[in-house]
Structure 1
Amino acid sequence: MQQEYTARAEQIMQRIHELAAISEDEPGVTRTFGTPAFLEGRDLVQSWMEAAGLLTRVDGIGNLRARLESQNPDAKTFVLASHIDTVVNAGKFDGPLGVLTGLDLLEQLISQRADLPFHIELIAFSDEEGVRFHTTYLGSEVVTGAFDHAMLARRDENGVTLDQALEIMGGDASQLALDAIPAAEWLGYFEMHIEQGPVLWERNVPVALVTAIAGQQRVELTFRGMAGHAGTVPMNMRQDALCAAAEFVLTAEQFAQAHGQGLVATVGKLSISNSASNVIPGEVTCTLDLRSDNQAQLADAYKALLNFAEGLAAQRNVELVWKLVQQTAPVACSQPLNDLLIQAIAESGYETISLVSGAGHDAVPVSAVAPATMMFIRCYKGISHNPLENVELADLAAAIAVAERFIHQLRMKHERTSC
């Protein structure tokens, strides 16, 4: 049996490498939402789904959806999913690993002519990373019915609105509401994903159970001072926007270090307007990414850093524009589904490790309408969002074995329920 799982893992790896060859640039992998590279990659994945005999379609937001029908037309739908968009200069595995492992599971069910007590829908979400329009979960929010149509007016860095991007992709924004799976029709959700952390790597365990997903608050801050000549404006008369931003960056780091395990704060983007070596920076924009699995801790950190930024701006005589771009609450995974996953891990002969995901996933919006669970797969040193991202064949084979047991147990549970 292990030899069979290894052969299946090899096929998944081959597909992952083939998909990774489609990129907007070199040497990493870049397939951001709606770009020609994204569309080419999606077409390739769709060809594999159709070759397996699955019914496929592309919905209005660009999600690729494949369906394996139960003989019971009134059955609920269980969703297997992850995403196929990437960050800039990404690795090969973040997102596609879950989609293509899900495809492998469905190929096996088809070959076995399995009679399902529920429909299974495999979804390759179009935009989880949020790179192009600076908002995550566009794909899964459409599927869950949570999409905010005001987002259609949001523009990318080239001034293209989301509405225009969908039209270029062949989508129809007016039909987005029809792409949602009604809450009453959901049975549950299962996502397989690389860990993006070092725990499994260090402990040499192939998979882990995800118990919760950290909440996030993303902010865009702009400090506006006064640009001036670097040689003529005295130090005590300057309104240096970059110095204000620099002080905020270090304080955010120090605050997270000092205020408890589980809280992380990151400034990942910094932009200096009209920058030059001999000009005092007059306007600087940066980002703040706050995460914690504790809602109270997250809210307290947000308030404290906002108060600090306001005081800093007043002290340095600069203007502050604080814009909350996105917020999500911490999410607990479904205990009944987790119990089945724990059983599958144990029966496969592996230690059960429970982890909280500091990274966001499409399971976040899904959890508002359906029970959701996730399985992490060991990755090289926990490296992610990086071309060094890697998964070993043996770990992928182990993950296939666990996932297959999980789906089998879910089938048995619902076959007994329907009897």
Structure 2
Amino acid sequence: MLTYTERAARVLQRIQELAAISEDDYGVTRTFGTPAFVRGSALVRSWMEAAGLVTRIDNIGNVRGRLLSKRVGARTFVIGSHIDTVVNAGTFDGPLGVLLGLDLLEQLAARPLDMPFHIELMAFSDEEGVRFHTTYLGSKVAAGSFDFSLLTKPDARGISLAEALDVMGGNVQELASDALPANEWLGYFEAHIEQGPVLWEKKIPVALVTAIAGQQRVGLTFTGMAGHAGTVPMDMRQDALAGAAEFVLAVEQYGLAHKERLVATVGKLDVRNSASNVISGEVTCSLDVRSADAAQLQAGCEALHAQALAIARRRDLGLTWSPIQQTAPVACDAEMNKLLAQAIAGAGHPVVELVSGAGHDAVPISAVAPATMLFVRCYKGISHNPLENAEQPDIAAALEVSERFLAQLINHHNHA
């Protein structure tokens, strides 16, 4: 029998094999529906098949492998994460959870065991939302909450989601049938790199996720008057870029003033018809506000909207405020978290509780099943970056904790 260290080495090897499948030669980019994504999905499915799982790729592109219980009426416990990436990504965000889950099921499949429930490993197809600018496509189909109006949504090249699914071999008429019915869900577990620096700084390998922050994303456009940089007096300008710059700093200041309760970010700035000798006439920027407290999230967005309006009035600018996405905070399931905390302590680690500021597939799944998450330490908390890394000892620790958690869950349902 392999040690946890040896098993972690195998997980790392598979992560690197998957990372080698990319849309470019200089990094890891594997966005939903691309040829690289399809090749990556086929590789993950081949590993599931080799482990003895019953596999399929569903109509949204999720790779799914089931370890079946022999009990009549057994429900399904799902282990999952995603295999799509952002552009120029790291190698661990998503695939770590999938391939750690695969290792767990390999161990279970290799020995005779009276399973009280099915276990299904789901490698979700699109969590990041890069191509169609909407997140959780894969997990929403599995949860039965997919928005069918998205099928007409085009990507940057004008290809609709429905057309992309057709190229992948999916059948949009069968999407609804890919949902696991709500009454068949037993629970959900996801392991994921922390994407933050807490565990790295504390030198602790894993943490219990208590909640996932809610998000509000907004697009703002400041509209002024383009003009010649050399001829319009400074006090007579309607400089849209100056207004946007003031808003960027206002967002940072608000976030710092409320740092215990939320984070706020402007991550994108688009200066229309920009030139070094032109006063900007139109600037569009993004706003991303996140909090585990729904009231604080709403209050923060309202306060920043008011600040944007005040900046626009003071500078004689037009302002459009366009909400793009809103996700409510999600609390992880108390009973599942109790079992996971016991597994962490049983493996000899302190039980560190963290709120996830990043979104995860556990968000849509939590609407139909009790969900729990395990964070794994990553290098300096870096993510969505080629420097993203998780070390073998930490992955070994995550494997032991996850296996203890599954054993406790199986034991609990065997004696229920």
User: For residues 255 and 371 of structure 1, what CA distance do their matches in structure 2 show?
Assistant: 34
Question: What SS class does the counterpart of residue 71 from structure 1 fall into?
Answer: coil
In structure 2, the partner of 1:158 is 157
1:91 is the counterpart of 2:90: yes
Aligned match of 1:344: 343
Contact 1:265 1:289 in 2 (8 A): yes
Query: What's the RMSD between the two structures over aligned residues?
Result: 1.4
* Aligned match of 1:11: 10
TM-score of the two chains, using structure 2 as the length reference? 0.97
* 1:53-97 Cα deviation digits (max 9, x unpaired): 211111121111111111024111100000011111111101000
Matched with 1:52 is 51
Q: Which amino acid aligns with 2:191?
A: M
- Hey, what's the Cα distance between the residues in 2 that align with 1:42 and 1:286? 34
Secondary structure (helix, strand or coil) at the match of 1:300 reads: helix
Give the letter aligned to residue 24 of structure 2: D
2:380 is aligned with 1:395? no
Letter in 1 for 2:407: H
Rounded to whole Å, the distance in 2 between the matches of 1:262 and 1:121 is 35
**Which residue in 1 is equivalent to 2:20?**
21
- CA separation in 1, counterparts of 2:233 and 2:169? 57
Q: Deviations over 1:364-387 (max 9, x none)?
A: 111111100000111111111111
What CA distance in whole angstroms lies between the structure 2 residues aligned with 1:169 and 1:277?
44
Q: Deviations over 1:33-68 (max 9, x none)?
A: 111211111111111111112111111211111111
Asked if structure 2 preserves the Cα contact closer than 8 Å seen for 1:141 and 1:365, the reply is yes
Q: What does 1:250-261 correspond to in 2, within 5 Å?
A: 250-261=249-260
Q: Matched residues in 2 for 1:26 and 1:264: separation?
A: 34
Q: Which residue of 2 aligns with 1:357?
A: 356
| C-alpha distance after superposition, 1:135-184 (max 9, x if no partner) | 21111111111111122222222222222222222222222211111111
Amino acid at match of 2:233: P
Distance, in Å, in 2 between the alignment partners of 1:163 and 1:188 is 30
- Is 1:68 aligned to 2:72, yes or no? no
CA displacement 1:88-114 (0-9 Å, x = unmatched): 111110100000000001111110132
1:371 lines up with 2:366 in the alignment: no
Does the 8 A contact of 1:28 with 1:386 survive in 2?
A: no
Q: Deviations over 1:277-318 (max 9, x none)?
A: 222222221111100111111110011111221222233232
Q: Which residue of 1 aligns with 2:330?
A: 331
Counterpart CA distance in 2 for 1:147 and 1:127 is 12
Deviation digits for residues 166-220 of structure 1 (CA, Å, limit 9, x no counterpart): 2222222222211111111110000000111111111211111111111111111
Cα distance, 1:204–1:126 mapped onto 2, change above 3 Å: same
CA distance in 2, matches of 1:286, 1:96: 31
Write out aligned runs for 1:288-327 (5 A). Answer: 288-327=287-326
Instruction: Give 1:26 shift.
Output: 4.1
Q: Quote the offset at 1:394 in angstroms.
A: 0.9
Give SS of 1:370's match. Answer: coil
Q: Which amino acid aligns with 1:246?
A: A
CA contact (8 A) 1:213 1:332 kept: yes
List gaps (5 residues or longer) in structure 2: none
2:229 aligned residue: 230
Q: TM-score, normalised by structure 1?
A: 0.96
Tell me how far apart the structure 2 counterparts of residues 405 and 327 of structure 1 sit (CA, whole Å).
35
Deviation of 1:260 after TM superposition, in Å, equals 4.4
Which 5+ residue runs of structure 1 have no aligned equivalent? none
Using the aligned pairs only, state the percent identity: 67
> Hey, what's the Cα distance between the residues in 1 that align with 2:227 and 2:174?
51
Tell me which amino acid in the other structure corresponds to 1:91.
G
